[in-house]
Structure 1
Amino acid sequence: MKRTSHRRSHTHGGQALVPALLFLLIGGVGLYVAFGSFQMTSAKIKLQNTADAAAYSAAVLQARDYNFSAYTNRAMVANQVSAAQVVALKSWIDELDNTYMGNPDTEQLVTTFADHPALWRTPKQRAHADIAPVRATLDALLPAVARGIGGITRALSDAQTNYHAAIFAAVPEVANDVAQRNQPDTHVTSGYFTSPRNAVQLAAWQTYTRVVTPAGNLDADHFADVVTDSTTLDRFVKARVSSRSVAPDYQQLDDSSARCPGGGRIAIRVAHVGGTQLRSDKKGWQSIDASTAHITITCIDTVDAAIAGHGGSANGDVSNFMTHPPFVAWSDWKGYGGYMNFGDPDSTQPGMNVPAAMAEQFTQGPGVSLDTANGGLLPYQDIAHAPLASEAPRITIEVERMAGTLVKSAGVGGAGRMRVDGGSASGAMRTLASAHAYFVRPSAGALDDGLAGALHDAGAWLREDGKTEYPSTFSPYWQASLASVSAEERAAAQAAQFPSDARATTP
């Protein structure tokens, strides 16, 4: 009995080893496949992250381009204001000196009616002696200052255009460099940025902004609107209204007149008006200052407005200072932005009821231009239309990685039915990513929006008037963000990777 039992135990020994080996084999195959699939999934995720980084870097360049345009546009606006101030100062000092030199008609009236003409002439002579060296210094200095301002403005204009062109040239190279820094075995698909697949998107970016040349154009202009805004120009430029009669005795007279029966008197007060305007054709600034002597003689019961002095100045091309010489048309008195009659507050129509001294200076012209080369408004970058959306055109980047670099561990790629498909086409794995610049300066009611909520201290970005500001190349509020890839771009990418003839022959 014992022998029989021993034989049965020996016959059934090791039966559990077969299922164990089978389970181990299946588990090994599963682990083998899972590891290979994990490498493919990891490669796809890393490639997408790399493409996102490359596209975002391109959008950063796009935002920098628009911000650079905004900073340079603002600098050029400031320079134009400075140029207007220089023109205004030249006109003002010339008129002041001319006024203290004396006008023959006024001097004749003083000689005829005033008992003590020295009360009028002595202060004028003293002031003229004081003003003469100041005018001589400014006459030597202001043209150089005007040319310097114009030269800087020209440099800013050229830098803006060149920087914009350089950004377009740099985007493919920068995106590729960022891709390779993220993954050395990846690169931006060669020629994709300028390929027919990207033509529509590239054209949208290229035409989003344009170079505008204001000078010589009579139409409305964004830059001219900004530079002539009432908050941009100071009062010295816009309207220099003042009294030339300064205590105790400058440019004023109150004297007895023996020529008047019964003890008459003669009184003189001098009023000054002047202003600087951007010409309607935007080719330069022009300025006129004029002083009028208001003379009262009691015995003849009259008040006479005589020319006391005048001066003028301009920059830019002044060869056609008047549109219709030798006649003065009403349009010649108009400047850009609603300005007219060079700051005279009493005239409500162009060229009508202006002081005689101002009309006299206008017919004489401004003299030699302070800056003939760069006096007018220079070319600048502006958004081509008036966009309401905050996003600039998207930039899409295609990044690829060669199939041979997808599996890092040798031998785990498998073969035959066990081979793990890397999902590559034409020997490479490719992916798309899009990004764009966007403009954000929220209004008070938009602080809870997702766009504004992403800002640090969003309240500090508000305009003083609380209004929403739309995208422009005059405010440096451009930032970069990733964007979704359009279905059309994905379809075009798939069609490029799997040609129709290849798809037709694929089993």
Structure 2
Amino acid sequence: MQIASRLRGWPAVKSKKTQQGQALIYGLFVLMGGLAALFFLFNTGQLSAEKTKLVNTADAVAYSAGVMHARALNFQAYTNRAMLANTVAIAQLVSLSSWIRYENSLAAFGSSTLNPKFLPFYPSYYAAVTGSRVSFPLVQTGTLEALEVASDDVNKALQSAQSLIYAGLPFARAKVMQQVVDANYQNDGSVTLDLIPLTLVDFLAFSRRYTGDGRTRFKEVALKSANFDSFIPKRSWTLVGFYGDCNFIKRDVLTRRGGTELIRFDEWKAIDSLSEHQWVPSDSLDIFCSANIEIPDGWGGQSGSNGISTLVDADPTHYDYSTVVNVDSTAAAFATSSSWNYSGIPSFYDLSDTEMTDTKEKNDPRLKFAIRLRRPIDQTMTSEGRSAIKQSSSPSHKLGLNDYHAAPAGGSEMVAVGASEVYFQRPPTQDRQNIYGKSIGKPNEIGSLFNPYWQVHLIGSPDSIQKAQLLQGVVSP
């Protein structure tokens, strides 16, 4: 009975033994799938890290170039303002020298003004006599001229600095951009840097140097700035005497005229004159004193010119009409005027004509700049590149890694594009609704190289991406 019972249980035992080890086959398939997934996860992670690093580097390169652009534009603006300040200083020095010469001549030849009919002028005459002893040595010793020459030399140096910045920026920019790339990929393979010509408006075309008659804008700004000092454009008054020497009805007049003018682009000219206009009889029978004569009492002149000083100024409005009001004393001022060497209104850099007349961006000029970084796939830390984990070289064991190719735009490179933009904007605490702009009907301040408010930020530029694709020979959808 026991033997029979054992025989009847044999098939069940045998069946259990034949089923052992079948789960191992399934486990091997799961393990292979897990390994493949782990491989894809590793490769995708490496690819994402490489792409992120390349994009961040591209942005850093583009931003660094934008910072250089903004700083260069702000440097041009600061130097323009410095040259403007020196130009105004030269106008003031020329005016001061002319005034001192006038005081000196008044002290020597203006004693006729000590007439009771000009009693209010007595203090001015005595001040001229006393002041000329103190101030005239400034002219005689050449102190004022030395200051003028120094200001002019500074302007020359600033012009040279502007030209060096303008011409040298592309080379310095290329060096800095490459340094940024090298710093991000030190001992980590190679990356190639290319510029993307978005438009023809790169830094060298965004601004330009204005010379010759193109200095009109600087001349206008210089005159506007100089004339804020009321001493420069007009030094005039009229004193009517208490009576006339010929009769007590027609009173004699003492006229003071003077001012400083910028003639063309290369000469500051200052003239000061004082004359008594006296009524006299035209003949022995003229009891009404119908003739008027001029008695020069004081005169002075000073010029700063690039070449020969103006000897005859045909513009009657200059020097507050001194040439037509005080004819004789003005002629004496021209004759005794001296001339300092002056190189003229400086050449300067400002936005190009294209940027100044472009209304596409509503008079808001912007300098866009884009670069492209190319990293060969064999330089990346993926299985296709320098990673120690690689796919099998046997075609029958490849895991379809090409589905995760690192250069979707085509070719054998990973590509990233970065773009920056330089724009004009005052700090948030300052309003662009400026008083001068309102006075000329343009309340919103337009960017120029006379105000150092150029800033930079990164931008997303579809144009740069499209041009990068075209450079790779890819047709955009």
Give the TM-score taking structure 1 as reference length. 0.74
- Asked if residue 420 in structure 1 is aligned to residue 405 in structure 2, the reply is no
Please give the alpha-carbon distance, in whole angstroms, between the structure 2 residues aligned to 1:473 and 1:121: 50
- Asked if residue 356 in structure 1 is aligned to residue 351 in structure 2, the reply is no
**In the alignment, is the contact (CA less than 8 A) between 1:341 and 1:354 conserved in 2?**
no
What is the letter of the counterpart of residue 286 of structure 1? K
Please give the alpha-carbon distance, in whole angstroms, between the structure 2 residues aligned to 1:165 and 1:84: 31
- SS of 1:474's partner is coil
C-alpha deviation, 1:176, in angstroms: 1.1
Label 1:187 to 1:316 Cα distance change in 2 as closer, same or farther (>3 A): farther
**In the alignment, is the contact (CA less than 8 A) between 2:244 and 2:252 conserved in 1?**
no
C-alpha deviation, 1:139, in angstroms: 3.4
Tell me the equivalent position of 2:260: 276
C-alpha deviation, 1:116, in angstroms: 12
Tell me the equivalent position of 1:434: 419
User: Which of 232, 251, 265 is residue 237 of structure 1 equivalent to?
Assistant: 232
Please give the alpha-carbon distance, in whole angstroms, between the structure 2 residues aligned to 1:413 and 1:314: 84
- Asked if residue 404 in structure 1 is aligned to residue 381 in structure 2, the reply is no
Return 5+ residue gaps in structure 2 as ranges: 1-7
Tell me the equivalent position of 1:446: none
- Identity of counterpart residues, as a percentage? 24
User: Which of 56, 63, 74 is residue 67 of structure 1 equivalent to?
Assistant: 74
Please give the alpha-carbon distance, in whole angstroms, between the structure 1 residues aligned to 2:216 and 2:147: 26
Q: For each residue in 1:200-259, what CA deviation from the matched residue of structure 2 results, as whole angstroms up to 9, or x when unmatched?
A: 745543222111114xx3x7721112111168631011111246x8xxxxxx987998x9
- Asked if residue 290 in structure 1 is aligned to residue 273 in structure 2, the reply is yes
**In the alignment, is the contact (CA less than 8 A) between 2:81 and 2:450 conserved in 1?**
yes
Instruction: After TM superposition, list the pairs within 5 Å mapping 1:67-466 onto structure 2.
Output: 67-102=74-109, 107=112, 127-128=128-129, 130-140=131-141, 141-184=143-186, 185=188, 189=192, 192-193=194-195, 198=197, 201=199, 204-214=202-212, 217=213, 221-229=216-224, 233-242=228-237, 270-279=254-263, 281-295=264-278, 302=289, 305-319=294-308, 321-322=310-311, 329-330=314-315, 333=316, 340-344=317-321, 353-357=324-328, 359-361=330-332, 364=335, 367-372=337-342, 374=343, 376-385=344-353, 386=356, 387-388=358-359, 389=361, 390-407=364-381, 409-415=387-393, 416=395, 417-418=398-399, 420-421=401-402, 422-424=405-407, 428-441=413-426, 458-465=428-435
C-alpha deviation, 1:46, in angstroms: 1.1
C-alpha deviation, 1:282, in angstroms: 0.9
Q: For each residue in 1:83-111, what CA deviation from the matched residue of structure 2 results, as whole angstroms up to 9, or x when unmatched?
A: 100000011111111122116xx84x98x
Please give the alpha-carbon distance, in whole angstroms, between the structure 2 residues aligned to 1:399 and 1:289: 66
Please give the alpha-carbon distance, in whole angstroms, between the structure 1 residues aligned to 2:109 and 2:162: 49
C-alpha deviation, 1:392, in angstroms: 2.8
What is the letter of the counterpart of residue 396 of structure 1? A
- SS of 2:58's partner is helix
C-alpha deviation, 1:15, in angstroms: 2.8
**In the alignment, is the contact (CA less than 8 A) between 1:274 and 1:342 conserved in 2?**
yes
User: What RMSD in Å do the two structures reach over aligned CA positions?
Assistant: 3.9
Please give the alpha-carbon distance, in whole angstroms, between the structure 2 residues aligned to 1:157 and 1:413: 62
User: Which of 483, 501, 505 is residue 459 of structure 2 equivalent to?
Assistant: 483
C-alpha deviation, 1:30, in angstroms: 1.6
C-alpha deviation, 1:5, in angstroms: 2.3
Once the two structures are overlaid, the 10-residue window that deviates more, 290-299 or 469-478, is 290-299
Please give the alpha-carbon distance, in whole angstroms, between the structure 1 residues aligned to 2:191 and 2:325: 67
Please give the alpha-carbon distance, in whole angstroms, between the structure 2 residues aligned to 1:309 and 1:440: 51
Please give the alpha-carbon distance, in whole angstroms, between the structure 2 residues aligned to 1:187 and 1:233: 59
Number of residue-to-residue matches in the alignment: 437
Label 1:78 to 1:12 Cα distance change in 2 as closer, same or farther (>3 A): same
C-alpha deviation, 1:27, in angstroms: 1.8
Label 1:497 to 1:271 Cα distance change in 2 as closer, same or farther (>3 A): same
**In the alignment, is the contact (CA less than 8 A) between 1:115 and 1:255 conserved in 2?**
no
**In the alignment, is the contact (CA less than 8 A) between 1:36 and 1:412 conserved in 2?**
no
C-alpha deviation, 1:156, in angstroms: 1.1
- Asked if residue 35 in structure 1 is aligned to residue 42 in structure 2, the reply is yes
What is the letter of the counterpart of residue 479 of structure 1? Q
Tell me the equivalent position of 1:450: none
**In the alignment, is the contact (CA less than 8 A) between 1:187 and 1:401 conserved in 2?**
yes
Tell me the equivalent position of 2:3: none
C-alpha deviation, 1:285, in angstroms: 0.8
Q: For each residue in 1:47-84, what CA deviation from the matched residue of structure 2 results, as whole angstroms up to 9, or x when unmatched?
A: 01101110110011111111111111111111111010
**In the alignment, is the contact (CA less than 8 A) between 2:95 and 2:232 conserved in 1?**
yes
C-alpha deviation, 1:426, in angstroms: 6.2
Tell me the equivalent position of 1:448: none
C-alpha deviation, 1:162, in angstroms: 0.9
Please give the alpha-carbon distance, in whole angstroms, between the structure 2 residues aligned to 1:126 and 1:60: 56
C-alpha deviation, 1:133, in angstroms: 3.9
**In the alignment, is the contact (CA less than 8 A) between 1:438 and 1:479 conserved in 2?**
yes
Label 1:391 to 1:41 Cα distance change in 2 as closer, same or farther (>3 A): farther
Label 1:479 to 1:116 Cα distance change in 2 as closer, same or farther (>3 A): closer
Label 1:67 to 1:282 Cα distance change in 2 as closer, same or farther (>3 A): same
What is the letter of the counterpart of residue 478 of structure 1? W
**In the alignment, is the contact (CA less than 8 A) between 1:272 and 1:291 conserved in 2?**
yes
What is the letter of the counterpart of residue 135 of structure 1? F
Q: For each residue in 1:99-141, what CA deviation from the matched residue of structure 2 results, as whole angstroms up to 9, or x when unmatched?
A: 22116xx84x98xxx7999x99999689536513421223321
Label 1:115 to 1:420 Cα distance change in 2 as closer, same or farther (>3 A): closer
Considering only CA atoms, is the larger Rg found in Structure 1 or Structure 2? Answer: 2
Label 1:439 to 1:44 Cα distance change in 2 as closer, same or farther (>3 A): same
What is the letter of the counterpart of residue 209 of structure 2? V
Return 5+ residue gaps in structure 1 as ranges: 246-251, 334-339, 442-454, 501-507
Label 1:491 to 1:162 Cα distance change in 2 as closer, same or farther (>3 A): same
**In the alignment, is the contact (CA less than 8 A) between 2:271 and 2:330 conserved in 1?**
no
